[in-house]
Structure 1
Amino acid sequence: MRMSPDDPGQPMDPDRVDLWDARLYSEGHPHALWRLLRAKAPVHRQELQDGRRFWSVVRYADVCRVLRDHEFFTSERGTLLTALGADDPAGGKMMAATDPPRHTALRESLGRVLSARAVEARREVLLQPVDRLLTPLLTGEISDLAVAAMNFPMDFIGTLMGLPQEDWPRLAKLTTMAIAPHDASFQEGSAPLTLLTVHHELFEYFSRQLSARGGTPTDDLIGHLMSMRIDGSPPDHETIVYNCYSLILGANVTTPHTITGLVQALMDHPAAFRTAAADPSLVPGCVEEGLRWSSPASHFMRYTTRDVEIGGHTLREGSALVAWLGSANRDEDVFADPYLFDIERRPNRHVAFGFGPHYCVGGALARISLRMLFERIFARVERFEPAGEVRHLASNFVAGVKSMPVRAVPRIGSW
């Protein structure tokens, strides 16, 4: 996705905006459209050719309200546009598709093992994937950073979930297929067939993983899910499988596309690269700005549980409503100079990990892994140089890059 609001070269009409079309995010100018909508139609209604319809909110305050208020806006009927119009069978079982209080019970248990303290305790182990990603880039040869980054979070989550390493490449591809079923590079048949393939294969895979454990919890995230108690009872087989799917999907959504987005921004702003390299204390702020800038998860969907007024519009009970995080993170009322990449931005209250009760449970893992990676990058890389065409992912959910050829120039004396 292009990160600037550059003029697309033709007039834009809010009534003709198509936020569903995956090609908008790979070939178009979504930030220009979101800026137009924030100014002219901050609560926007769209109807698809097949009769399905959804509302959108694009301003920061409205996005936060929708994601925070589970009593008016439920997650249990589906959370992504790809599920529009069909009730989610994982509703009430998968954490991402469950409202409090049941959601709270699921989240608190997983939150303990994915907390910043728990992740920091495994820093030495987690540095291994960092070096496995970075070392091949330091040869001076051209590398496709997007391809390397796509496998990076799988290295983390595969280890934490106790999954066989030989399965990681296919699992990484399946999660990309799940979030970009309209992208020809990841399709296996039509977009609906691709989603069907992904869900069948991943659910079957995790079902086999559970069966192989023979009902005995193991010392990994899957074992933790098996040993949880919800209202005093253990989760059933289906609940564990759905949450395994959720964990692996969540891990592979944000991190790789933040890496490519942040490296692209640093190539476009070489002074920021030099500033962060000279002062390691700036790395956390650099990562936060990278998260705001790239906003990898573009949206989350909710359904209204009753008639509700928002932005001067009345949405009827059962209406689908999409909160656009990528737009909220450029809201001029919240972020000064929102189209300025500023690694020292303060405050930086971005919503790249969502907001409210569904704030990403793996946010600490993503943050710490990104910080470790960019600490290594600033210590060992003099600069990145573009080395080919950047190709963007066709997805209305993830603002991502599927190909980014670069050359990393090693810093002299860094080894």
Structure 2
Amino acid sequence: MTVLTRHTGSDPRQEPAPEPAPDVDLDTVDLDTVDLFDPGLHADGDPHRIWAHLRRAAPLHRQTLPDGRNFASVTRYHDVRRVLSDSRAFTSERGSLLDQLGHGDEAAGQMMVSTDPPDHAALRRPLQHALQRNALEAARPRIRAAARAVLAPAADGRPFDLVTAALDFPMTFTGALMGIPEQDWPDLVRWTSMAASPEDPGFQIRNRHATLAIAHHELFSYFTEQTAARPDGSGDLLDLLAGLGSRAKTVYNCYSLLLGANATTPHAFTGTVLALLEHPDQLAEARRHPELVPSLVEEGLRWTSPASSFLRHAVEDVELEGGVLRKGEAVAAWVGSANRDETVFQEAARFDLRRTGNRHITFGAGAHYCLGAILARIALNELFTELLGRLEHLEPAGPVRRLRSNFIAGLGSMPVAMTLRPTGPQG
């Protein structure tokens, strides 16, 4: 989930130095033709290969689009972390997504993801207590039931698309926490998917612009109606958001909270399952040692990095490891690249469920650290506990299709054949 407690622990720079970056053939990537803006690269190409090259050869890479818009990209762990955590040097109020480049953000100053401190803290404050671990423990039975629903298609013995099965997963508990009527959940899943990946053929209607316009209209209209008709004192997340001071702030942040949940958590799950299929030794290890589920979840979050990039603008000249960003310059911070930085993670290109010191920045850093991180971790732990506790057989059942998006790193389709042991009498 891209929108819960702040990451703590020692500075990652204090870890023993991992291996140096592997040799990369500098002729294999033409810096003049690298187009990280192109959603097609992230669907059909190999962004990790390009990022590995950029980390070594061009850790501050500048790109100009055909329409004249331009932006820089940072790909090293410490640079990405700095851009995301230093709200004094980098602002979110000119857009937080790469697709907003050159257009700005009409929700600036009103939506958490597009507001800088100190105003940002005022928008987060109403939800912080409700999304702490102790407050969320009561939601575990609902999350467990949602996990079983994801795996239910395996019961008839036929292959099924795990991506489709997982798409509704976060809505079934986030919707309940927000106080959204259950009959509305399918529409909200579809609209948030359209908003997060408007270029993807699985969600697109006519074209990217029409898809975004439809999704935003439906979501904003829905939350405007919901918040206007709600009784006071319900105590759910919509009720808490209604206290932000204006209808616009309430609606924008309902949208942001739900988008963050629906657009990322399913992809962390399905991307981790794909990694296990691609690394059968790790799948066997996970099945033998259920106590490793929390570690598996963290490695899956690092490996998948479902919210792959965030946009910021420099408010002053800033010197980074990769070079100097100029005042006013737009910069894309590539989380997916940072989480595979060979100078920070031992054997970064290896999926390792026993990885220790896993200081991934999948949930961001600093003031904008993901508000829903604790909920996402609880949900993923429940889902993998359910899967691995019942799994008898798992194999691919068709080609995998990746999402066409420069924001969400995820899967559009992943057919699997799965056999599970039945649940117990209390299941």
TM-score range, shorter chain: over 0.9
Aligned to 2:13: none
Give the match for residue 250 of structure 1: 260
Per the alignment, residue 220 of structure 1 pairs with: 236
Residue type of the alignment partner of 1:114: L
Matched, 1:107 2:107: no
**3-state SS in 1 of match to 2:168:** helix
1:231 maps to none
Pairwise CA distance, 1:253? 2.2
Aligned-pair CA distance for 1:323 = 0.4
SS at match of 1:353: coil
Distance in 2 of aligned mates of 1:321 and 1:115? 31
The structural deviation recorded for 1:44 is 0.6
Q: Structure 1: how far apart are the matches of 2:342 and 2:352?
A: 15
- Residue range with higher mean Cα deviation, 311-320 or 163-172: 311-320
Aligned equivalent of 2:192: 175
Matches within 5 A, 1:325-404: 325-404=335-414
Distance 2:193 2:423 in 1: 37
Say which is worse superposed, 296-305 or 163-172, in terms of deviation.
163-172
Name which of structure 1's ranges 296-305 and 186-195 shifts more when overlaid on structure 2.
186-195
RCO higher in structure (CA 8 A, sep ≥6): 2
Aligned equivalent of 1:165: 182
**1:142-161 → structure 2 map (5 Å cutoff):** 142-161=159-178
Deviation at 1:372, TM superposition (A): 0.5
* Deviates most, 251-260 or 313-322: 313-322
For structure 1, which runs of at least 5 residues remain unmatched after alignment? 228-233
How far the C-alpha of 1:414 sits from its partner, in A, is 7.0
Cα 1:62–1:312 shift into 2, 3 Å:
closer
Q: Residue 204 and residue 217 in structure 1: after superposition, are their counterparts in 2 closer, same or farther (change >3 A)?
A: farther
Equivalent residues, number: 402
Q: Which residue in the other structure is 1:77 paired with?
A: 94
* Matching residue of 1:29: 46
Q: Secondary structure at the match of 1:113?
A: coil
Corresponding residue for residue 19 of structure 1: 36
Aligned partners of 1:393, 1:414: CA distance in 2, in Å? Answer: 36
**Cα offset, 1:409, TM superposition:** 1.8
Which aligned segments of 4 or more residues in structure 1 are displaced greater than 6 angstroms?
412-415
The farther-off stretch of 73-82 and 268-277 is 268-277
Structure 2 unmatched ranges of 5 or more: 1-21
Decide which moves more: 354-363 or 192-201: 192-201
* Deviation of 1:309 (Å): 2.6
The separation in 1 between residues aligned to 2:326 and 2:422, in whole angstroms, is 62
Percent of aligned pairs with the same amino acid = 50
Matched, 1:240 2:250: yes
Cα displacement string for residues 73-113 of structure 1 (whole angstroms, at most 9, x for unaligned residues): 01111100111111211111111111111111222321211
Once the two structures are superposed, residues 342-362 of structure 1 have per-residue CA deviations (whole angstroms, 9 ceiling, x without a partner) of 001011000111111111100
CA contact (8 A) 1:176 1:186 kept: yes
Q: Specify the code of the residue in structure 2 equivalent to 1:365.
A: L
* Match of residue 45, structure 1, among 36, 50, 62: 62
Q: Distance in 2 between matches of 1:379 and 1:329?
A: 28
1:317 aligns with 2:334: no
1:75–1:98 contact (8 Å) kept in structure 2: yes
CA distance in 2 between partners of 1:342 and 1:83 (Å): 35
Separation in 2 of the partners of 1:332 and 1:412? 42
State the superposition RMSD in angstroms. 1.8
Indicate if the aligned counterparts of 1:151 and 1:172 stay in contact, CA closer than 8 A: yes
Task: Report the residue type matching 1:225 in the other structure.
Answer: L
Amino acid at match of 2:284: R
> Aligned partners of 2:319, 2:281: CA distance in 1, in Å?
46
Match of 1:127 in 2: 144
What is the TM-score with the length of structure 1 in the denominator?
Answer: 0.93
Q: Which region of structure 1 is more displaced relative to structure 2, 176-185 or 327-336?
A: 176-185
Query: Would the alpha carbon gap of residues 339 and 194 (structure 1) be closer, same or farther in structure 2, given more than 3 Å must change?
Result: same
